[in-house]
């Protein structure tokens, strides 16, 4: 109990958060749901974090990288080579 108080930063006499009340009920549905939620969050935290990082990478960073590569190729190389390299890059991205 003391470990939970330290973990969630709970005070002894002040009003406690909802998940603490749900945890205290034990056999009620709210307590079961709160316990399952905590177990899932702890067990799958690394998976959730990696999914969020991958989504950010694909939505934000990937278009920036592609536009930088395309800009670089358009300046230095003729258009036929650019098309071939674009197809290769798209195949590499979709392969992941």
Number of domains in the chain: 2
Name the token pair of 64: 């920036």
Nearest alpha-carbon partner for 30 in 52, 10, 38: 38
Domain of residue 13, residue span:
2-43
Span 2-45, pLDDT tens digits: 555 555 554 555 555 555 554 554 456 666 676 777 777 777 77
What global pTM score does this model have? Answer: 0.27
- Same domain? For 31 and 72 the reply is no
- The CA–CA distances, whole Å, from 51 to 4, 40, 91 equal 28, 15, 21
Residues 76 and 88 in one domain: yes
Residues 65, 37 within the same domain: no
Residues 88 and 49 both lie in one domain: yes
Same domain, 38 and 50: no
Q: Which two tokens stand for residue 50?
A: 């990696």
């Amino acid at each position: 109990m003391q470990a939970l108080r330290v973990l969630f930063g709970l005070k002894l006499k002040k009003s406690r958060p909802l998940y603490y009340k749900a945890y205290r009920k034990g056999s009620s549905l709210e307590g079961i749901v709160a316990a399952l939620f905590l177990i899932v969050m702890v067990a799958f935290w690394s998976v959730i974090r990696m999914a969020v990082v991958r989504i950010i990478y694909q939505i934000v960073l990937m278009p920036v990288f592609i536009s930088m590569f395309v800009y670089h190729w358009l300046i230095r190389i003729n258009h036929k080579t650019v098309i071939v390299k674009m197809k290769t890059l798209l195949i590499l991205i979709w392969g992941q």
